[in-house]
Homo-oligomer: A and B are copies of this chain.
Amino acid sequence: MTSTTAPRRRARRGEGAALRAEILTAARTLLAETGSDDAVSIRAVAERVGVSTPSIYLHFADKDALIDAVCESVFADLDAAMEQAAQTVPDPFEALKQRGLAYVLFALSNPEQYRIVLMSRAKRTDGATDVLAHAMYQHFVDGVRLCQEAGVFARDADPVAISTSLWAAAHGVAALLISHPGLVTEEQQLAMADQGISAAGLGLALLQRLPADPSAEPCEDIVGVLDAAFGPPSAG
């Protein structure tokens, strides 16, 4: 199983942290390779690292702490991917879209890691994971705020609410394609992400420009308005 041929050397006095990092890497690798979070057991991780099972407990209090640390590192990577995608894009709306695309791309490239941090029961409500998740979310909210200042979204709207809606759109594409990979072909996946994200952003911007009046059948009207403003639809 282990690719290292040499028998492990015991760490020097202060070097316990090295094994800790190795354990974390092994857990993430195992997650990615097996495509199942059931496979991430203390025993499997220990075997992968090439160390005895109880050794894990020298570095993590229990299994929850290990999984927590995995989530932490996944969140950090996801945040980095999004920020990198957005950093060179001047237009704030386009930057938001790039963030969304990077988000879905990360999810599709790391399906089990995405699954474990964002699709499983969120019983872990404390610890460093939340801090990192919050940091990532804050970056996104900041991006939304820039769009509000640019006039894409209403200035008096709640940026967090807008962010949550857009997040849901990206999450929808990501989660759906992860749970049901056979739904569309691989090249269609990116197109679907693009379409889902664009539609959510544009749709929200459009919604905010419609009268808030909840009269009986607003949807019937709006199609006429769209046709008048843009002409009839065509596949694209």
On A, residues with C-beta under 8 Å from B are 36, 91, 93-94, 97, 118-122, 125, 150-154, 156-158, 161, 164-165, 167-173, 175-176, 179-184, 188, 192, 195-196, 198-210, 212, 217, 219-220, 222-223, 225-227, 229-236
Contact = CB atoms under 8 A, between A and B. Distances in A.
Main secondary structure on A side of the interface with B? helix
From A118, A183, A233, residue with most partner B Cβ within 10 Å: A233
A225 B152 CA distance: 11
A94 B236 contact: no
Contacts of A152: 223, 233
Contacts of A210: 230, 236
Given A91-B220, A201-B203, A202-B203, 18 more contacts: A94-B219, A121-B179, A122-B181, A152-B233, A158-B235, A161-B188, A161-B192, A168-B172, A199-B200, A199-B203, A203-B204, A206-B230, A208-B233, A208-B235, A209-B229, A210-B236, A212-B234, A229-B229
